[in-house]
Chains A and B, each alone.
Chain A
């Protein structure tokens, strides 16, 4: 029994959910809004499970046609759902993790809208979240590059909307455009990537004659390899934009301006993995051109290491995780670049589990700090009920330097965070160990030595910054009175965390070496993949590196916990190198100097010189207005108007005047002269009549 006909519902359930909340949400309570949205996402998950079950029964690529979209000549693009093992894997991850995050967000946003004093935005948040699930489902279920692109842009829009969710403030709630600027930055960086994607798409249609996956893959082997290289590399530009790879990764750290469930869902677990999915989906193209594969693998590996070094120097709990996400996406891109598609997808899934877990736990920590802050504010001034905001100093609840010792006040969050941290660090037997190890094993086996070492060092840094983070946040003594008063989150937030923690611990079973469930599952879609080999020496090296990194982090941050106001111990040891890490290697400043400022210069030149001086002052004022004035003054005024029309009118007036001057003498007022005139007239007329 198969359920392929249900495929469109993966999109329609979230759409129905968001429409319900848009139309009726005004009358719903927060609980109903959250339930509707979670139910919409949950039903999409149920459909995804049914589809996965159907694929297992019927292991062929199924296309479920839904609607015609564009039919122009040879261009035929339909909205067709492609249900195969790869797309159902993505559907399960998106809707599964998505549903958990929806449930978590009910609790999170309940408090977030209260801390930021705008209760109405609760509904808006869930509308956007459901819209995101719908767009992501279109992305992963599309049957052609064009449908994939529709979803690709849809998730980009949702990302923009949700990063700028608190658009009129910065991350600390102060009035500023910082959040909306972060949203714009993400949107613009993604436009650069989308430009690459579009060029790849156009080349594909021009040279291979279709956008449809199977048609493109069938035409590719006989096409000019140069074209395939161009297509795959332009596609890599799109991947770099969406999956935050060098050189377009800069938007993702700023995207942390969005509420934490957004960071977890969009900027860690699902949307940013769309690039990895795109490369995996295009595997038949990439495997044709090894040189492109090499470039993809190197991009991923360099990004993995580069971002990991920056994560070491960050103080914001979410910024560390953001750079960690970039780094882990680098692992995935490197894996799929090498052709280790299973390893890449495996890491995508486990990363979705543990990174969503880490972000949501970080959100729980931040809210715990907010609660502590609120608690203190209430106790400091008993009379201050309405104006408590005024005497508070600006306090950053996400700054790890303000935390410390939270394991006592937030035990549940601590334990799940620990599970996520061990999974991300790649400690046996957590999920991250198996997936990361498979990538490293493939790299060493396939002869990508450089990639292997870059990734191995990145893995070392990963374990180090995660150790640093956990030690700074949960161990030692509270470095701020707020941290001492932090409170644990309610069950609606911690329950999804526990589920994700379980998945992070057990996720390795998905593709356990020797059993290779995921490999044989994906083999339906990608017939050329083979199961990865478990290599003991690679596993030992990476485990050793991870444990060493955790030990080093304990030496620095655990043995002597950070004191209030004390600089980071690494600062003394590394000096300027740490300053570079702390300041993200000044990449944003470099981009500003090289691209943004130059762009502003060009815009200013165009506005001031070309538009104003040339078009306005010269062309419009001088040429057009001047010519017009000259024409009216010389040609019309002097000749036609004054000497023509005016002259005639004046002549007519003068003639009338002189005529009346001449005849007015006749009317002298004397009755007798009139009588004489009458008489003479009569005599004249009679004389004429008589004598004629």
Chain B
């Protein structure tokens, strides 16, 4: 059995890639994918620790996270459609109407 450290390291790498994707990319679809990547990195960590400690809570949290992620994507894509209809663009850098 592989030590838990490997899973955590993989999780950290995935999370970092996800975070960078969110910060760097301009396409909201790619940003959503990066968010999914970060969430799944978190899932991996949950599952790894849960298996390592022999507890179920971590596993259950994974389901929660997956549910939330599905809901988030659904809402996010609906928002994107609405934005595109009004602005005919989905470039994230053009969406700054709420600046102070």
Contact = CB atoms under 8 A, between A and B. Distances in A.
Contacts of B100: 663-669
A676 B31 CA distance: 13
Interface in A640-669: 663-669
Contact of B96 (A663, A664, A670, A679): A670
B96 A672 contact: no
B23 A679 contact: yes
A675 B99 contact: no
A1 interface: no
A683 to B, nearest CB: 10
Contacts of A671: 92, 95
Interface residues of B, number: 12
Interface in B25-51: 31
B22 A670 contact: no
Contact of B22 (A664, A667, A669, A672): A672
B92 to A, nearest CB: 6
B52 interface: no
A675 B96 contact: no
Contacts of A665: 100
A679 B19 CA distance: 8
Contacts of A672: 22-23, 31, 92
B49 to A, nearest CB: 17
A679 B38 CA distance: 12
B96 A669 contact: yes
A634 B98 CA distance: 49
A580 to B, nearest CB: 107
B26 to A, nearest CB: 8
Contacts of B31: 672
B52 to A, nearest CB: 20
A664 B23 CA distance: 21
A671 to B, nearest CB: 6
A669 B97 CA distance: 6
A665 B100 CA distance: 7
B96 A668 contact: yes
Interface in B63-95: 92-93, 95
B95 A669 contact: yes
A675 B32 CA distance: 13
Nearest to B97: A669
Contact of B99 (A663, A669, A676, A679): A669
A670 B23 contact: no
Nearest to A670: B96
B31 to A, nearest CB: 8
Given A664-B100, A666-B100, A667-B100, A676 B23 contact: yes
Nearest to A668: B99
Nearest to A660: B100
A663 B97 CA distance: 17
A669 B23 contact: no
A668 B22 CA distance: 17
A304 to B, nearest CB: 111
B18 to A, nearest CB: 11
Contacts of B98: 667, 669
Contacts of B23: 672, 675-676, 679
Contacts of A668: 96, 99-100
Contacts of A670: 92-93, 95-96, 99
B13 to A, nearest CB: 16
Contacts of A664: 100
Contacts of B19: 679
Nearest to B34: A675
A672 to B, nearest CB: 6
Q: Which of A666, A668, A671, A676 has the most chain B CB within a 10 Å cutoff?
A: A671
Contacts of A666: 100
A671 B80 CA distance: 14
Interface in A59-99: none
B15 to A, nearest CB: 11
A667 B100 CA distance: 5
A666 B97 CA distance: 14
Nearest to A682: B19
A663 B100 CA distance: 9
B36 to A, nearest CB: 15
Contacts of B95: 669-671
Given A675-B23, A676-B23, A667 B99 contact: yes
B97 to A, nearest CB: 6
A322 to B, nearest CB: 102
What are the 7 A-B residue pairs with the smallest beta carbon separation, nearest first?
Answer: A669-B96, A669-B99, A667-B100, A664-B100, A668-B99, A669-B98, A675-B22
Interface of B: 19, 22-23, 31, 92-93, 95-100
5 contacts: A665-B100, A666-B100, A667-B100, A669-B97, A669-B98
Given A669-B97, A670-B99, A679-B23, 13 more contacts: A663-B100, A664-B100, A667-B99, A667-B100, A668-B100, A669-B95, A669-B96, A669-B98, A670-B93, A671-B95, A672-B22, A675-B22, A679-B19
